[in-house]
Structure 1
């Protein structure tokens, strides 16, 4: 017998395994002592809208004298492709790795080229940024196996439902060792402490099937014949060729954008968003979101928030919004060059830090950047880079980040002191209105005042802003045909993922990687 149930429970009921089991069995008319009974949660979401009691929505199955089927509805077959026709994938982030896995399923050999180090070797370079303020331009929080998402939180929630099968992506993760909880939770999350192992498993699947993954291998040139991209050239002068190239280099590979521009390959300046990281105590955010007086208690997870406000500056309306909110998380240095300062957020799987942080960013349109139009398609990127250099200078020309208490920022006052922080390299008290462009700082100020009304207690000097959060998305788009995914001018080039402007996170990038691999193979694979 199988029975499906939908219940609304208290946190102490929903998050205690034995208590939840007993409740589900009773609701199904089964004795909790029935040894042949089994329960399984299908979906779980928290509803904190009521000020009286946080509720948890549960959708579950009860089985009696019946073995529950596997949660995985897909089967993944990775044949040996050692001798198959090969395709090139530049970048070993989620877009590149999932493009490689899909290529193997379709009988094609992927050659994944990654400028950075493998996921474990990256850790030494991350430690050097945090402790010694040394940035390795090839291995950092953005570059290296697994991409920017691996050491920057690992959230798996996406609204990009039109580009692929979200469930399929999550099931591939589970098949490679991720917890089945990601198939259950409304906002699934793996955590930066667990993602590296998952990334290693993807790599081993690729290699075991006969694919290649090359580390410390930087693409420095393109092999173009006529209007076709036949391959790439690495820093050692090696030419690597294949049926086509999936370009999945991420949003921070500025040298690749320059390379495309030098070869007169069509690229476009793209709107993005820029601002700061804002850090509160997690306890304060819990009190606001869960309406609790002291703390959230032992059953509820660290709470998150999502905020958006429309602001006006010199007659132009722009959105200000929270981005990549990290409950129970840390702020990390995400620069990819020595003379720049960039911050990002991450959370471990337990989300048990005492801090909550979120990007708080302003939409930047191309019309906001008239003085950068001389850079053509690189205009937004050059603006982004200049803001990051400015932050580096104000921080003291190290990875110490410029910062200011939240109300002090709103009131235009330099903070006499700063709060404790999760940001390891340290903070410098500055006037953030001088660090940020006027149109960004003014809009942040107006938005903070509005957010303080939406979330009572949010606007406080017991929070601080830390700058700059500038790598929200790519400031360059590499165009592609909406149906074939191929570049409109350079054949056999398949722009992919965040760096090309077609994704915004781990899952959406993975889905885009799969689609790009499928489209390239459909067009250029020689079948026997």
Structure 2
């Protein structure tokens, strides 16, 4: 017999099985001798009271041994099956490929960037020398932007598809089983590359294909149907099903659709800065203690405020993390954040962004590229004010709110370097003014947050796609092109690793229904 109970456990006892059994015994009013095993089903941190506790759902095995089913992925070989062409090897593309294999189709992935091993050299050049490789960077390459974005796996996409299956597939390919338990699971940037490589091996061993440094420059059609893909190298690959899983930064794909007069829509997104505090400060604020201790992870936060009917919110918070340069072209500054699995860096950073609406940039309803052009213009301005070589414009938090250029900047994790400027010269007025009003309010919600120890680094601009590639809600195909499946974050239908993976799987399933 199994029972599921809820317990509050102090951090020191969270890994003590004997203590958990004793607590379960008392909760269920049964002898501890009858409890053969316990297993934590869900785990979250509750820091609302004076004492921080873990809130857990515990599966209690009474008079029976523990049985944990093993997830397996052993499909038939698809070498000679119907091909499905997939543009992009990010989470959406990779999980679409896994679903294709499971459904008896052969995935053929074309990735403009490099595999994870060779991609590292370009990231090193970007961080140390400020040199941007437009085809291999934090956004382009095996695993996509997800490979170097902390590996956060929490999502609100439960209604869109099988979240559990996505997590199971990650564990099957080497992720810690903790992601099946934690309320805010993450893998860590240091571990994700190995997991992505293992997914690649699964795809290839099952008969699928992955081709790196293969940039797609055209989607060929005939009589309103997909015919195949044309590469920058000149070769054409034929198939009647194409999944476009190119991510939110492949601007050339948007321009391709625009030239072909295929339906696109401008889509609201968010833009702002990445804010970094000392992690020790965040720990003290959130855990109400001077020293975090060994049993609690580095603390995180989530903040939101409405300023004049416009949302201002923290985004992609990285405890113990690093701010990274994520430009995909020369002459622009884009920042993002990531954390290693242990989250043991001395800083905590988070995107802090402001909602950008369609009417903020004029008549964007009739110009699908309007918000994209706006996004790009801010990134280019940041590059100019940063002074070049991926040096980012930055300012201390209170100085920004009070309109002073900081006389110096605090130590921070952004490796290419920061330059003290007035970020109001970078950000549009409606974004700058919204942040100025929101940050002191965040400080009232979270005592200690509003401080000049915090640095604002510009600009956080790739929060989501500023364009939606239109698709039919039932077939998931583009309404003008049969066999063309706009997918995930780049098409405007997902946000983050799990939701992108789910959308990739859903697109693959849609192909099997034809």
Structure 2 distance, partners of 1:432, 1:244, is: 46
Cα displacement string for residues 373-416 of structure 1 (whole angstroms, at most 9, x for unaligned residues) = 49921111111111001001111111111100000000000000
User: Counterpart in 2 of 1:230?
Assistant: 227
User: Counterpart in 2 of 1:40?
Assistant: 39
Structure 1 distance, partners of 2:24, 2:344, is: 29
User: Counterpart in 2 of 1:54?
Assistant: 52
Q: Give the 3-state SS of the residue equivalent to 1:149 in structure 2.
A: helix
Q: Is the 8 A contact 1:154 1:192 kept in 2?
A: yes
Q: Give the 3-state SS of the residue equivalent to 1:204 in structure 2.
A: helix
**Which residue among 167, 171, 174 is the counterpart of 2:171?**
174
Structure 1 distance, partners of 2:428, 2:235, is: 43
1:362-401, aligned counterparts within 5 Å?
Answer: 362-370=354-362, 373=364, 376-401=367-392
Does residue 142 in structure 1 map to residue 133 in structure 2?
A: no
User: Counterpart in 2 of 1:103?
Assistant: 100
**Which residue among 64, 68, 90 is the counterpart of 2:87?**
90
Moved more, 62-71 or 200-209: 62-71
How many Å apart are 1:298 and its aligned residue? Answer: 1.5
How many Å apart are 1:252 and its aligned residue? Answer: 0.1
User: Counterpart in 1 of 2:469?
Assistant: 478
Q: Is the 8 A contact 1:25 1:62 kept in 2?
A: no
Does residue 302 in structure 1 map to residue 294 in structure 2?
A: no
Structure 1 distance, partners of 2:15, 2:393, is: 40
**Which residue among 501, 509, 523 is the counterpart of 2:492?**
501
Distance 1:135 1:65, change over 3 A: same
Does residue 133 in structure 1 map to residue 130 in structure 2?
A: yes
Q: Is the 8 A contact 1:303 1:327 kept in 2?
A: yes
**Which residue among 457, 460, 463 is the counterpart of 1:466?**
457
Distance 1:309 1:110, change over 3 A: same
Q: Is the 8 A contact 2:186 2:341 kept in 1?
A: yes
How many Å apart are 1:63 and its aligned residue? Answer: 3.4
Structure 1 distance, partners of 2:142, 2:31, is: 49
How many Å apart are 1:197 and its aligned residue? Answer: 1.1
Structure 2 distance, partners of 1:297, 1:368, is: 46
Structure 2 distance, partners of 1:21, 1:374, is: 60
Tell me the number of residue pairs that the alignment of Structure 1 and Structure 2 aligns.
513
User: Counterpart in 2 of 1:320?
Assistant: 312
How many Å apart are 1:321 and its aligned residue? Answer: 0.6
Q: Give the 3-state SS of the residue equivalent to 1:515 in structure 2.
A: helix
Q: Give the 3-state SS of the residue equivalent to 1:148 in structure 2.
A: helix
Cα displacement string for residues 330-375 of structure 1 (whole angstroms, at most 9, x for unaligned residues) = 11000001111000010111111111100000000110001x7499
Structure 2 distance, partners of 1:162, 1:475, is: 24
User: Counterpart in 2 of 1:190?
Assistant: 187
Structure 2 distance, partners of 1:512, 1:66, is: 39
How many Å apart are 1:243 and its aligned residue? Answer: 2.5
Q: Is the 8 A contact 2:11 2:52 kept in 1?
A: yes
Distance 1:18 1:151, change over 3 A: farther
How many Å apart are 1:116 and its aligned residue? Answer: 0.4
1:396-475, aligned counterparts within 5 Å?
Answer: 396-475=387-466
Unpaired segments of 5 or more residues in structure 2? none
Does residue 202 in structure 1 map to residue 199 in structure 2?
A: yes
How many Å apart are 1:229 and its aligned residue? Answer: 1.6
Distance 1:416 1:167, change over 3 A: same
Q: Is the 8 A contact 2:265 2:365 kept in 1?
A: no
Structure 1 distance, partners of 2:22, 2:393, is: 52
User: Counterpart in 2 of 1:334?
Assistant: 326
Q: Is the 8 A contact 1:375 1:382 kept in 2?
A: no
Does residue 251 in structure 1 map to residue 243 in structure 2?
A: no
Does residue 211 in structure 1 map to residue 208 in structure 2?
A: yes
Does residue 5 in structure 1 map to residue 5 in structure 2?
A: yes
How many Å apart are 1:39 and its aligned residue? Answer: 2.5
Q: Is the 8 A contact 2:333 2:390 kept in 1?
A: yes
1:239-278, aligned counterparts within 5 Å?
Answer: 239-278=236-275
Does residue 123 in structure 1 map to residue 120 in structure 2?
A: yes
How many Å apart are 1:68 and its aligned residue? Answer: 2.2
Q: Is the 8 A contact 2:72 2:172 kept in 1?
A: no
Structure 2 distance, partners of 1:21, 1:329, is: 35
Q: Is the 8 A contact 1:329 1:356 kept in 2?
A: yes
User: Counterpart in 1 of 2:353?
Assistant: 361
Q: Is the 8 A contact 1:409 1:432 kept in 2?
A: yes
Unpaired segments of 5 or more residues in structure 1? 524-528
How many Å apart are 1:65 and its aligned residue? Answer: 6.5
Across the aligned residues of Structure 1 and Structure 2, the Cα RMSD in angstroms comes to 1.8
Q: Is the 8 A contact 1:280 1:357 kept in 2?
A: yes
Distance 1:386 1:366, change over 3 A: same
Structure 2 distance, partners of 1:476, 1:219, is: 19
User: Counterpart in 2 of 1:521?
Assistant: 512
User: Counterpart in 2 of 1:69?
Assistant: 67
How many Å apart are 1:240 and its aligned residue? Answer: 1.1
Q: Is the 8 A contact 1:14 1:58 kept in 2?
A: no
Normalised by the size of structure 1, how large is the TM-score?
A: 0.94
User: Counterpart in 1 of 2:76?
Assistant: 79
How many Å apart are 1:189 and its aligned residue? Answer: 0.7
Structure 1 distance, partners of 2:279, 2:18, is: 28
